[in-house]
Structure 1
Amino acid sequence: MTHLSNTNDAAISSEQIDRYQTLFNARKDAKVVERAVSHQGILATSADFKADTDMTPVFSIDLDTGKVANQKQSGRCWMFAALNTMRHHLADLFKLTDFELSQNYTFFWDKFEKSNYFYQNVLNTADQPLDSRKVAFLMTTPQQDGGQWDMLCAIIEKYGIVPKSVMPETYSSSKSSELNSTLNKKLRKDAVTLRQLVATGATSDEIASARDKMLGEVYRLLCYTLGEPAQTFDFEYRDDDHQYHIDRNLTPKTFYDKYVGWNLDDYVSIINAPTDDKPYNKTYTIEMLGNVLGGREVKHLNVTMADFKQLAIKQLQDGQSVWFGCDVGQSSDRQKGIMSLDAYDKNALLDMDLSMTKAQRLDYAESLMTHAMVITGVDLVDGKPTKWKVENSWGEKVGTKGYFVMSDRWMDEYCYQVVVNKKYLSDAQRQAQAEAPTTLLPWDPMGALASN
């Protein structure tokens, strides 16, 4: 293997700088590009308006899902997207236009359960030094807003859901940075205590007692910032026909069972990760990733991109929207609501090749899942998808009243996860999905939490 034996050999020399300057100044367009980019930035200067005409928001399959929600200054996209798929179903059944489920309610319990999950991981790694990669990984972000589909299922299966009117937004749910910094400070302080208890040979009862006190303090902090979750409530509403309804003495779990009623075991995570370490038609989970101890684990079935898209299309054809995860910041125009490989032409502007394969981007930390949204439509031409309609959770001031258009080629490159009812899986896929998963390391890109 070739390597440098002396790092001084690789130091940048003045001769190199002179040569680079000469090459730069020899370019006829150098000063023109410099003026444009220095004043407008790389994105604005490389914008390709071809994408505007290609990404017209018209689709052969287009589900009517109402107004978009707004996660505001929080990282709850995965939660908004999942609850949106459920509210679409609920709104159709009970004639409730623009109805929302409480994202704050699930946010509260996710924070609470993530804290307990963190404590368990601290105890599981208490025999490792502080500079071990797993301990360092834990302490970098004890908890955050982001998550994955299976994590929301774990919350709903344990705590149910409520209408937004029962537990509305608060300052800290819509703008979560203060809560996150305070909670993470507390969790790191608690990690010091837990590791010290283990190091000094404390009994399991002593550790459990300390942990119980810590959880009580977390609960109090969450009540202060997010409000105390309802245990029982009345659901009062008028439907689209102006008929009055009231349903009394519901619990969050009975509300879910009556008004949504999905068997969440029927919905499975499908990923496309074309890296050598993840063969297709195998399942994967991620070490130290989750929220509810003893609850549903994160589990992905890896398939080809062709199968990935076909499963999403089948669910859309049946009239049901699709939760999905992607790297939203790549080649996308947030204001126009366009996700297209043609949105920008940086290669032409800069005269350099920035292309990488999807596998290379995953392997070299150039891309991972950052955001979750909902697919609500697709344009099929001769049976093949050309573009997809996307319901975002950034409010109505972006895109087309909050809806985005995603090109099929963009989906190939930057979509990593969809959630579909397993009835759409082939027999072979269903059998593969049922198998025990391979456990990936905590920092694997398929363990990324959607949080934009």
Structure 2
Amino acid sequence: MNSEITSSDLDLLRKGFTENPVHRLVQNAVTQTSIDDLALDREIVVRTDHSVSHLLDDWKATNQKNSGRCWLFAGLNLLRVGAMKAMNLKAFEFSQNHLMFWDKFERANYFLEAIIDTADRDGDDRTVAFLLEGVANDGGQWNMFAALVKKHGLVPKAAMPETQSSSSTGRMNDVLRRALRQGARDLRALASAGTEAQRQRKQEILEIAYRILCIHLGTPPETFVWQWTDKDREFHRDGELTPLEFAEKYVTIPLDDYVCLVHDPRPSSLAGRTFTVDRLGNVVGGAPVVYLNVDVPLMKRLAMETIVAGEAVWFGCDVGKMMRRDIGIWDAKLYDLEPIYGVPFDLDKADRLTYHDTAMTHAMLFTGVDVMDGQPRRWRVENSWGDKDADQGFYTMNDSWFDEYVFEIAVRRDLLPEELRSALDAEPIVLPAWDPMGALARAH
């Protein structure tokens, strides 16, 4: 075949397709039926149920609705377990809107500082273009979540409830992006005037960003009165608290002790080393996003041991691959596509990262594990997509899917082997801003 597609090439393709009865049969089926319905492996579905040997959740699933706040929901879902126990409540949610407000505002400042830092580069510089393209997205990482809690605290959902824009962020994000990109133009134009002039203009841009966020999300409370009736019908009142005081009282796990383990099998990524992604973060002055690259068996073992010990596990994955939302199942071979298309889909995990066929797209919480002969065979997952699908919003992940599509977990530092704890102190390798290991923070 030459560089140009000729009519002879097309004749051969048409003839090859038409003369194959399997191709025609599949065409007849797929033009009338969803490919997912046709390719769904019934044997996997039949042998997968939602039961697990170690189950933590006895609460309702949350709903991020039409937003990319999965990482915040997963983090707050982890923290609310201890809060419910401390307050003797059957149901409780921290305000996801509160943390999103401060993430958006802090990230506006983070973006503007990055624009100031790169103001001497050309507008088509790849890093500058990346910054301008990704401004005001909803996604984030574990370290970014922890930085927000540490700086801005937490409030109960009643103190800063959801709004139309927190549940459907698209229009708000459009307005915020427009204001910040306009601000970026101004800051770059002031490069010759110096940093002080740029930061004076930055303050004015941040005032605009704050105003936009207040209009869409409401104004975050400085203080609030917290009182509740517990599940034994006993009344309690804490009185007036700040968000930081509320977090100090009801966050029962040591956030500073958690580290992020990732599995990045690309040949260029070194096992046992820490790395970060350039320009990945939200709070200027906060702890950087740092990963420790380990193998999957270690990630599984630590996640399993954490769950068995009674604590859920925050994790990041490529959620849309090989999953069925209505029945709530993930399995590495859930859809048998190869015989339908006559194509061997044989990219491994490293190739999928290299060739942009996979990335972290969603964060959730492991709330159960099914252990047999000391090994995990399936995982129970608390999602943040409401309670209409799966087992009332709790999904089942067969262990094969963990191997292929789970990239990150957050666990306590003291669970790591000694040599890996020591590795955490090494200066992290810096990956470029557009590397796929930063993709979770770019979710819309």
Please indicate the TM-score interval, normalised by the length of the shorter structure.
over 0.9
Residues 336-375 of structure 1 show CA distances to partners (whole Å, capped at 9, x for unaligned) of 1111123211112111111210000001100000000000
Query: Does the aligned pair in 1 maintain the 2:41–2:335 contact within 8 Å?
Result: yes
Counterpart in the other structure of 1:45: 38
What is the alpha-carbon root mean square deviation over aligned residues? Answer: 1.2
Q: Answer yes or no: is 1:23 the counterpart of 2:16.
A: yes
TM-score by length of 1: 0.96
Equivalent position amino acid for 2:258 in 1? Y
Counterpart in the other structure of 2:324: 333
Distance 1:206 1:402 in 2: 51
3-state SS, counterpart of residue 235 of structure 1: strand
Query: Does the aligned pair in 2 maintain the 1:76–1:145 contact within 8 Å?
Result: yes
Query: Does the aligned pair in 2 maintain the 1:81–1:323 contact within 8 Å?
Result: yes
Counterpart in the other structure of 1:5: none
3-state SS, counterpart of residue 416 of structure 1: strand
Query: Does the aligned pair in 2 maintain the 1:282–1:301 contact within 8 Å?
Result: yes
Q: Answer yes or no: is 1:164 the counterpart of 2:157.
A: yes
Query: Does the aligned pair in 2 maintain the 1:114–1:292 contact within 8 Å?
Result: yes
Q: Answer yes or no: is 1:181 the counterpart of 2:139.
A: no
In structure 1, the gaps of 5 or more residues are: 1-7
Q: Answer yes or no: is 1:420 the counterpart of 2:440.
A: no
Distance 1:86 1:54 in 2: 33
Counterpart in the other structure of 1:375: 366
2:196 alignment partner, one of 205, 208, 228: 205
Distance 1:356 1:154 in 2: 36
Counterpart in the other structure of 1:293: 284
Counterpart in the other structure of 1:233: 224
Distance 1:221 1:414 in 2: 37
Counterpart in the other structure of 1:242: 233
Q: Answer yes or no: is 1:347 the counterpart of 2:338.
A: yes
> Bigger shift: 350-359 or 404-413?
350-359
Query: Does the aligned pair in 2 maintain the 1:289–1:442 contact within 8 Å?
Result: yes
Counterpart in the other structure of 1:194: 187
Q: Answer yes or no: is 1:101 the counterpart of 2:94.
A: yes
Q: 1:9 Cα deviation (Å)? A: 3.4
Q: 1:54 Cα deviation (Å)? A: 2.4
Q: 1:99 Cα deviation (Å)? A: 0.4
In structure 2, the gaps of 5 or more residues are: none
Distance 2:252 2:204 in 1: 35
Query: Does the aligned pair in 2 maintain the 1:50–1:343 contact within 8 Å?
Result: no
Distance 1:52 1:59 in 2: 16
Query: Does the aligned pair in 2 maintain the 1:327–1:370 contact within 8 Å?
Result: yes
Within 5 Å, give how 1:130-145 maps onto structure 2: 130-145=123-138
Query: Does the aligned pair in 2 maintain the 1:110–1:291 contact within 8 Å?
Result: yes
Counterpart in the other structure of 2:75: 82
3-state SS, counterpart of residue 158 of structure 2: coil
3-state SS, counterpart of residue 44 of structure 1: helix
Q: 1:94 Cα deviation (Å)? A: 2.3
3-state SS, counterpart of residue 17 of structure 1: helix
Equivalent position amino acid for 2:229 in 1? R
Counterpart in the other structure of 1:278: 269
Equivalent position amino acid for 1:54 in 2? R
TM-score by length of 2: 0.98
Query: Does the aligned pair in 2 maintain the 1:314–1:424 contact within 8 Å?
Result: no
Q: 1:263 Cα deviation (Å)? A: 2.5
Q: 1:189 Cα deviation (Å)? A: 0.5
Distance 2:226 2:425 in 1: 38
3-state SS, counterpart of residue 9 of structure 1: coil
Distance 1:65 1:374 in 2: 14
3-state SS, counterpart of residue 440 of structure 2: coil
Q: 1:123 Cα deviation (Å)? A: 1.0
3-state SS, counterpart of residue 151 of structure 2: helix
Q: 1:428 Cα deviation (Å)? A: 1.2
